[in-house]
Structure 1
Amino acid sequence: MHTPASMVMGIVFAPLGLVLLFTAAITPQWREGQARLGGVGKAVGGAKGADLLLLRSDGLWESCLQVAHSELRECWPVSGPYQHDSHVRAAQVLVLISLFVCGFGIMLASVGLRCWTDAPLRNVTAGGGLMVALAGLLSLAAAAVYTHHLPALGAELASSVSELRGLNINKLPSLTLRPAGSLYFGWLGAGLQLLGGLALLFGFRRPTCPSCPKQVHTERAEAYEVSS
């Protein structure tokens, strides 16, 4: 089989970008921050009256809170102002659309590659590449919207914090949140999707390498004797 190198690169990068984006979508680390609580009136991890360091992280569909250096951890579906923020909702929609479009584009490109024949279906493969590239642009848009508006997405601790294993917290501190690992995965996955889609788009070009098969249409005429 004579498959152009661009198609091979595209069919490798596109699924890798899809996996990274899916990982980013299901993990709750698009932003993270920490807050120190002074003088909690209940022993936690054997440290009575000591300052507690709370670690907060938010994803697109889940938020988590953990007490540092302990096993106390609670996760819950996103709620409150964060859940209803238009930018968070936009990121959710864009990521979901990107996942579906990229998955369908990869399937279309795989059919176009036609691993069971010598020559790929260039137009079909490039069509799949166009969908993968579009998915990459949607992913980039989602990551850009979330990153740009991250400081304004709300930094308050959820009310359920006070119910975390009976902690007696009277005053909830403010948080300064920053981009976290899942958001970086999203950026990387979107970039790989875009690169993979652009590489598959080169399938529109007819191969020019000497080793590529060439279809030669010739008409063979055989001489025969006509009996009178």
Structure 2
Amino acid sequence: MRTPVVMTLGMVLAPCGLLLNLISTLAPGWRLVKGFLDQPVDVVLYQGLWDICREQSSRERECGQQDQWNYLAAEPVLVARGLMVTSLAVTALGLLLATLGVRCWQEEPHFVLAGGSGVVLFAAGLFSLIPVSWYNHFLRDRDVLPAPASPVTVEVSYSLVLGYLGSCLLLLGGFSLGLSFAPWCEERCHSCRKASPSDLRRSSISTVYVDWPEPALTPAIKYYSNGQHRPRPAEQGVASKPKVGFPMPRPPPKAYTNPVDVLDGEAAESRGTSSRSTRPCHSTLPCDSDL
């Protein structure tokens, strides 16, 4: 099957966030200090988590400068070191789990493992966003983050911006991969809904079976079904007995004979006595002359 969009998006955003956080952690550019009175105007200091660099006119850059104000020992710097390194390690673990869970070379991805990697990457984004936000909050506080007195000014540098971007990409990538839990949760909820006892109880209430007594039917209806007559139980027993012997021939039907002479009246008419016979018919059947 094709890799889901949420997995593809997470696999693209998470490595980008890892790269930006790595640059932000190692590069000495969290804070920019400039405006020194005893140095040339174009001299600036880049302060990071591990080192301090001096740059002049973008031509000369010298790192490993002496920490005159005890900047590297400040609490926000020490906390940022630990959390940024932790974020990098957790991000690497999340990407490993995502690679095993997405498995673009297989037919079906492992949704649970991919979703778990999204949770890990989202936590890595939080680990990097907390120190970046805390450092930015105390950026101009010279008591928390030591810096020379005025007129020296402090500004946000590029490493802090990269830290913000990397944290946001990790959060988005982790959230996108976390959506891989949706198919797994839908399948589990569907199976639980099938085996839910409340559904079984509801079905037993909605379906009521009543065993009504069979009504007594008349013989004409009781032994007639599907357009055919069925023999009664007594007749079924008789019909089931085998017949013995051979069939006897039936006598031919008797012919109907009329004992009255139906031609008597016609003979009298032929003699001219009368057009209609006055002799009463001795049979209950009508004579031919009457017809």
**Could you say which residue in structure 1 is the equivalent of 2:159?**
182
**Could you say which residue in structure 2 is the equivalent of 1:132?**
121
Letter in 2 for 1:75: C
Letter in 2 for 1:117: Q
Identity %: 35
**Could you say which residue in structure 2 is the equivalent of 1:101?**
90
Secondary structure of 1:83's partner? coil
**Could you say which residue in structure 2 is the equivalent of 1:83?**
72
Following superposition of structure 1 onto structure 2, how do residues 135-214 of structure 1 map, counting pairs within 5 Å?
135-152=124-141, 153-156=145-148, 175-206=152-183
CA distance in 1, matches of 2:83, 2:55: 29
Deviations 1:144-188 (CA, angstroms, capped at 9, x unpaired):
1110111121113xxxxxxxxxxxxxxx97621111111000000
**Deviation at residue 102 of structure 1 after TM alignment:** 0.6
CA distance in 1, matches of 2:74, 2:58: 32
Contact 1:37 1:53 in 2 (8 A): no
Contact 1:31 1:177 in 2 (8 A): yes
Deviation larger for 172-181 or 29-38: 172-181
CA distance in 1, matches of 2:79, 2:151: 25
CA distance in 1, matches of 2:23, 2:29: 10
Contact 2:112 2:180 in 1 (8 A): yes
Structure 1 residue runs of 5 or longer lacking an equivalent are: 41-50, 157-171, 208-228
**Could you say which residue in structure 1 is the equivalent of 2:10?**
10
Higher Cα Rg, which structure: 2
In the alignment of these two chains, the number of paired residues is 181
Aligned pair in 2 of structure 1 residues 70, 135: CA closer, same or farther (>3 Å)?
A: closer
**Deviation at residue 70 of structure 1 after TM alignment:** 5.0
Normalising by structure 2, we get a TM-score of 0.58
Deviations 1:22-71 (CA, angstroms, capped at 9, x unpaired):
01111111110212446x7xxxxxxxxxx543111111111111233653
Contact 1:37 1:173 in 2 (8 A): no
Normalising by structure 1, we get a TM-score of 0.73
**Deviation at residue 126 of structure 1 after TM alignment:** 0.8
**Could you say which residue in structure 2 is the equivalent of 1:34?**
34
**Deviation at residue 106 of structure 1 after TM alignment:** 0.6
Letter in 2 for 1:74: E
Structure 2 residue runs of 5 or longer lacking an equivalent are: 185-291
Deviations 1:107-148 (CA, angstroms, capped at 9, x unpaired):
101100112211110000111111100000111101111101
Secondary structure of 2:105's partner? coil
